[in-house]
Amino acid sequence: MPAPTFTSSSASLGPLRTLLVDNYDSYTLNLLQLLVQQLPAGSSVLDNIIVIRNDQYSWTTVRDFILPHIDSVVISPGPGSPDRKDDFGMCDDLIRYAHMAGLPALGVCLGHQGIAAAFGGNVQQCAVPVHGQTSRVQLVATEQETVTGEPGLFDGVPNLFKVVRYHSLAVSDIPNEQLLVLARAAGTVKALDPATNQIIDVESREIMALRHRTQPLFGVQFHPESICSEYGARILQNFGAISRHHRNGVIRAKPTLPADVLSLSLLAQDNRMWQRHSFNGDDGTSVYQKVGGMMRLVCEAVDLSEYTGDDDIGGDLFGYLYGNDPAPIWLDSASTGGGMSVMASAQTTGSLTVRYSVGERRVKVVRLTSANSSVLVGDDALSGDETFWTWMQAIVDQTRISESSTEPPQCSFQCGWVGYFGYEMSQADNASDCEDRLPDAQLTFVDRCVVVDHKSKPPRAFVMALVADNYQSSQSWMSELGFHCPNDASAWISRQISSIRLWLTLPRPKPKSVSKAAVSSAVTMEPDISRDDYVAAIARAKQWIAQGESYEICLTTQFRHSGATVRSAREMLALYKCMRRHNPAPYGALLWLGDIGAGVASCSPERFLCTFQKDTRERWVEMKPIKGTCRRLPRPDARLCSPSDLEKWERDDEQRARQLQQDAKERAENLMIVDLIRHDLNSIAHNANVQVPQLMAIESYASVHQMVTTVRAQLRSSVGDVAALAHCFPPGSMTGAPKLRTVRLLKELEAANGKGGRRGVYSGCLGFFSAHGQADWSVVIRTAVVDQGGSRVSVGAGGALTILSDPSAEWAEVETKLQSVLPGIRQYCDDRQKGVFID
C-alpha cells in the first residue's frame, strides 16, 4: 500500500485539503459547514474539501487517486453499523490506511464506532439509545499525556460541556494498548420506561470520545455539528490544528487539490449535472439571450380600502372573480404565511399545465379546454441524467420576467408556475400500483392573476399579466404561454379592475355565522393502516431505531372517504371553503383540474421552502420545519361562557403550549429535523452560510399548537428555485432522519398492509415558482386530496416516531391531525346532501 513519505519541510502548504466521507446523508454537510468555517478568508469550499459517498468509488481509486492529495479525513455519522459494508462502505479500509500512513482522521458517531471496531473494540447496542437529546461530556484524559507536541482535540473545551447525541450503538470496550478513552457521557438522559410508558431519567456513561495512542486518529460519539452542541466548531478547529501539526512533516506534490480530484466531489458532480441541463451560464449569470425575448410583466394596483365586508376579503373576492371558473387556482395565505392571496385560473389562453409521473420519464403538457377535458400539446422525453426537476428548472428559467412595463408589484408572486410535487417524486421508480389518477407532479403556468396584498394598509390588489411578445423558446409548446399582444393583456387587466371596482360597491349581506357544532354528518374516514397495524408498525420502527437504522421515523397513513363526491370546480371550492372555515391556515390552497377529476384543498400550517432576494446580490432560502404537535383545548364560545371561564381556557391553553415547548421528546424530534434540514441546505448554500434564526418557537392554529424552527441559507448563485426545492425534497419533517435510509424504511412500513403505501400529493409540497425569481412552497399536510374522478377524498396524517414514542399517544396525535380537516369535510358532505353550499 503506498504511503506518503515523512520528511521535514517548512514550505507554506496552503489551506488543509480535507476529505469528508459521507455515510449516506446523516448530517454530513453540517460537518462541512464547520470545516468551511476554518478555511482562510477567500478560499472556496469546492477547492479545498472533497465530499464523497462511502461507496462512490472503489477503495483503490480512493487510495491511489484521492488520498495522496489529502491532509485530513473526516468520517461522517450514518445509519447502521460499522461492521456492515453496506453501511460503512470503504471507511474501514480508510481507517486502516490512515493508521498506517499517519494521516489525521476524525470519525463522528458511526465514524467513531468504526475506528473502535478497526482496532478490535466492541460496538454494540447501548442500554439507552439517545436521539436528539443533549447530554454532558466528561473529559477523562488529556491527549498531551500520550502524544507530545500535538494539539489536543478538546483544547479550550471545558469539562462537562453539552453535546447532542444520535445513536443506538456505542463502543463498549476498547483494546487499551491501542486506543485511549478521552471522554465519557455524564449525568442522565431520557428513556421510556416500558413498564409504565413514562419517560424517566437514566444514567449514561457511554464512551464519548477516543483516540489512537500513537497515531492522529480520533473519534467522537456525539455530534459536534448539531446546532445544539456546544464547542463543535472549536473541536473541528482543534482537529484542523492536529492535521496541520502532522502535515508539517509531509511533502506533498502540490499545495492545492488538483482539478481532476476535485471533480470527483459529490458537490462538484451535482453542480455539473444541474449546469448541463440549465439555461444559466457557468457563473450563474443568465444567458437568456440565446433564446430571444423573455416575459414582460404588466401590472396595475387597485386600492381595496372601500371594502365594507367582513374581514375575509380574500375569500369574498375569490368567490366573486373565480367562483365559477372551471379550473380555479387559489393560494390563500391571507392570515399569516405570505400575507397574500393569489387568484387565478388554469384555463386561460396563455396557460398550460405540465404533468409528470415517476418512472415514465416523459413530461406531458396539456391545455385545459373545457370543464372536464384537455388536449395534449407537448410530450417531452427526459434524456440521460435529466430529471423532471432539471427539466422544470430549464422551463422556469425560460419563463422569467426580463422586464416590467410598469413598477413591479411588492408581492412574492408575479405570475409563473403553480402546482405541487408529490412525495414519490423523490423516488427513481414508482412501483406501487397507482390507484389515484393524480400525476406525481403537476404545475400550471399562470399567465394572469389577481394578488391581494393583505399586509399593505389599506389592502390592495394587484392585477397582473405576462406578455410574451417576441418570445422564442426551446420548446414549441412554450410559444403558447402568456399574452402575445400587449393590448390584450391591458384589456384583460382593465376588465378585471372594473370587476373588482364593481365588487367593492356591492351591498354585503351580514356574514352568516356558521357554528362548528352545526356539523351533523356521520362521515367517517377509514385509515389505510388500522390503529392496531399502526401500533404494530411503531413497534417495528422502534426496533429499527434501536438497531441504529434510523433516529426518527415519520410514519403516516391515509384516511379515505368514498362518499364525499366532488364533481366540479364549484364543489371543490365548496369543500375548500368548509375546510378553511373550520381550520384557517397560513398556507391554504385550492387546485382543481377537471379533466382528470382531481383536486387539492390544503390547510397546511407548514412552510417547506421559500426563496427571496435579500439585496441586489444575495438570494436566500428559508425553511420552517414543524415538529411537535399538541391538541388545543376547544375555545369556549365567548357568548355562552363567563369571562372567568374564558380566562381559565386561556391559561390552560398557554400552559399546553409551554408544556409542548419544554417537552424533551418533542424538542428532540424538532432538533433532529432541524439538523437534517441544515444538512439539506448546506448542499445549496453559498460558502456553507446556513443559519438558525429561531429555534423551536410555538405557533398556534385553530386546533393545534405546533413547534416551529426557522432555518435560512444564502443560496449559491448558480442554484435556481427548482434546484433549491429538489435538493431539500421530500420535506425532512415528513421523513425523519437520516432521510435516505428512513425513506426506504418508511416504504416498507407503509406498504406492509398491501395497499401500496403511496403517499401521493400528501407529504409533498405545494406552491409556486414566481416569474420574477422567487418561490414559496408549503408541506402538503392537513390537506384533502380528491382523486379517482372526484369520487374519493383522502387525507394523510402521521407523526414522527422516536425511541421515546408511546404508541397510543402517537395514534392520538394522528387523530388530532386528522381532526383539523375532518370537520370541514363533514360540513361539505352535509351541505352537499342538503344541496346548499354556504358561501
Ligand X SMILES: NC(=O)CC[C@H](N)C(=O)O
Q: What DSSP string runs through 791-809? A: TEEEEEEEEEE-TT--HHH
* Residue from 22, 436, 480, 606 in contact with ligand ISJ (CB under 6 A): 606
The CA-based diameter of the chain, rounded to the nearest angstrom, is 90
Tell me if 626 contacts ligand ISJ by CB under 6 A.
Answer: yes
* Residue from 226, 733, 735, 802 in contact with ligand ISJ (CB under 6 A): 733
Contact 781/821 with Cβ under 8 angstroms? no
The count of C-alpha atoms lying within 13 angstroms of the C-alpha of 446, restricted to the half-sphere facing its C-beta, is 31
From CA 435, how far away is CA 758, in angstroms rounded?
9
In the complex with ligand ISJ, which residue's Cβ is closer, 133 or 372?
133
Tell me if 79 contacts ligand X by CB under 6 A.
Answer: yes
Return the one option of ligand X, ligand ISJ, none that residue 328 interacts with (CB less than 5 to 8 A, by type): none
Return the one option of ligand ISJ, ligand X, none that residue 304 interacts with (CB less than 5 to 8 A, by type): none
109 in catalytic set: yes
* Residue from 629, 742, 774, 805 in contact with ligand ISJ (CB under 6 A): 629
- Which range in 17-25, 274-282, 380-388, 775-783 contacts ligand ISJ by CB under 6 A? 775-783
Return the one option of ligand X, ligand ISJ, none that residue 586 interacts with (CB less than 5 to 8 A, by type): none
In the complex with ligand X, which residue's Cβ is closer, 130 or 153?
130
Tell me if 208 contacts ligand X by CB under 6 A.
Answer: no
Return the one option of ligand X, ligand ISJ, none that residue 166 interacts with (CB less than 5 to 8 A, by type): ligand X
Q: At closest approach, how far in Å is the CB of 551 from ligand X? A: 7
Return the one option of ligand X, ligand ISJ, none that residue 797 interacts with (CB less than 5 to 8 A, by type): ligand ISJ
Q: At closest approach, how far in Å is the CB of 529 from ligand X? A: 26
Give per-residue burial for 610-624: e unless 16+ CB within 10 Å, then b: bbbeeeeeebbbbbb
Tell me if 123 contacts ligand ISJ by CB under 6 A.
Answer: no
Tell me if 797 contacts ligand ISJ by CB under 6 A.
Answer: yes
Site string for ligand ISJ, 251-290 (x = CB under 6 A): ----------------------------------------
Return the one option of ligand X, ligand ISJ, none that residue 727 interacts with (CB less than 5 to 8 A, by type): none
- CB contact set of 340 (below 8 Å; sequence gap of 6+): 331, 333, 334, 411, 412, 413, 451, 452, 453, 454, 455
Return the one option of ligand ISJ, ligand X, none that residue 628 interacts with (CB less than 5 to 8 A, by type): ligand ISJ
Contact 322/452 with Cβ under 8 angstroms? no
Per annotation, catalytic residue among 223, 582, 679, 727: 223
Q: At closest approach, how far in Å is the CB of 61 from ligand ISJ? A: 40
Cell numbers of 476, please? 414549441
Per annotation, catalytic residue among 143, 206, 225, 669: 225
Tell me if 166 contacts ligand X by CB under 6 A.
Answer: yes
Torsion of Cα atoms, 310 then 315 then 320 then 325, to 10°: -170
Closest C-alpha to 674, from 741, 625, 713, 712: 625
Tell me if 135 contacts ligand X by CB under 6 A.
Answer: no
Return the one option of ligand ISJ, ligand X, none that residue 463 interacts with (CB less than 5 to 8 A, by type): none
Tell me if 80 contacts ligand ISJ by CB under 6 A.
Answer: no
Return the one option of ligand X, ligand ISJ, none that residue 334 interacts with (CB less than 5 to 8 A, by type): none
- The conformation of residue 62, written as its DSSP 8-state character, comes to I
Return the one option of ligand X, ligand ISJ, none that residue 627 interacts with (CB less than 5 to 8 A, by type): ligand ISJ
* Residue from 135, 168, 556, 735 in contact with ligand X (CB under 6 A): 168
- The full 3-state SS of 423-452, as one line of letters, equals HHHHCCCCCCCCCCCCCCEEEEEECEEEEE
Tell me if 737 contacts ligand X by CB under 6 A.
Answer: no
- Which range in 75-83, 340-348, 584-592, 616-624 contacts ligand X by CB under 6 A? 75-83
* Residue from 817, 824, 829, 831 in contact with ligand ISJ (CB under 6 A): 817
Return the one option of ligand ISJ, ligand X, none that residue 800 interacts with (CB less than 5 to 8 A, by type): ligand ISJ
Query: How many residues make contact with ligand X (CB under 6 A)?
Result: 12
What is the footprint of ligand ISJ within residues 550-569 (CB under 6 A)? 554, 556
- CB contact set of 104 (below 8 Å; sequence gap of 6+): 71, 72, 73, 98, 216, 217, 218, 239, 242, 243, 246, 247
Return the one option of ligand X, ligand ISJ, none that residue 77 interacts with (CB less than 5 to 8 A, by type): ligand X
Per annotation, catalytic residue among 109, 578, 630, 765: 109
Closest C-alpha to 48, from 688, 621, 617, 681: 688
* Residue from 89, 107, 111, 628 in contact with ligand ISJ (CB under 6 A): 628
Site string for ligand X, 25-54 (x = CB under 6 A): -x----------------------------
- Helix 266-276 to helix 388-398 angle (10° resolution) is 50
From CA 349, how far away is CA 312, in angstroms rounded?
30
Cell numbers of 156, please? 479550550
Q: At closest approach, how far in Å is the CB of 738 from ligand X? A: 8
Contact 96/118 with Cβ under 8 angstroms? yes
Alpha carbon distances (Å) from 230 to 81, 120, 159, 162: 26, 30, 11, 6
The count of C-alpha atoms lying within 13 angstroms of the C-alpha of 692, restricted to the half-sphere facing its C-beta, is 20
From CA 664, how far away is CA 81, in angstroms rounded?
26
Residue 125: how many other CB atoms lie within 10 Å: 15
Assign 79 to helix, strand or coil. Answer: coil
Question: What phi, psi does 542 have (nearest 5°)?
Answer: -65, -30
From CA 241, how far away is CA 57, in angstroms rounded?
28
In the complex with ligand X, which residue's Cβ is closer, 169 or 601?
169
What is the footprint of ligand X within residues 520-549 (CB under 6 A)? 548
Q: At closest approach, how far in Å is the CB of 797 from ligand ISJ? A: 4
Contact 327/346 with Cβ under 8 angstroms? yes
From CA 730, how far away is CA 166, in angstroms rounded?
21
In the complex with ligand X, which residue's Cβ is closer, 80 or 764?
80
The residue whose grid cell reads 346548499 is: 836
From CA 521, how far away is CA 541, in angstroms rounded?
36
701: amino acid identity, one letter: Y
Tell me if 627 contacts ligand ISJ by CB under 6 A.
Answer: yes
The residue whose grid cell reads 444575495 is: 618
Query: How many residues make contact with ligand ISJ (CB under 6 A)?
Result: 18
In the complex with ligand X, which residue's Cβ is closer, 108 or 601?
108
Tell me if 278 contacts ligand X by CB under 6 A.
Answer: no
In the complex with ligand X, which residue's Cβ is closer, 542 or 716?
542
From CA 731, how far away is CA 674, in angstroms rounded?
11
Residue 792: how many other CB atoms lie within 10 Å: 19
- Which range in 72-80, 241-249, 370-378, 684-692 contacts ligand X by CB under 6 A? 72-80
Residues annotated as catalytic are: 109, 223, 225
Residues within the interface to ligand ISJ (CB under 6 A):
554, 556, 606, 626-629, 733-734, 779, 781-782, 796-800, 817
Residues within the interface to ligand X (CB under 6 A):
26, 77-80, 109-110, 166-169, 548
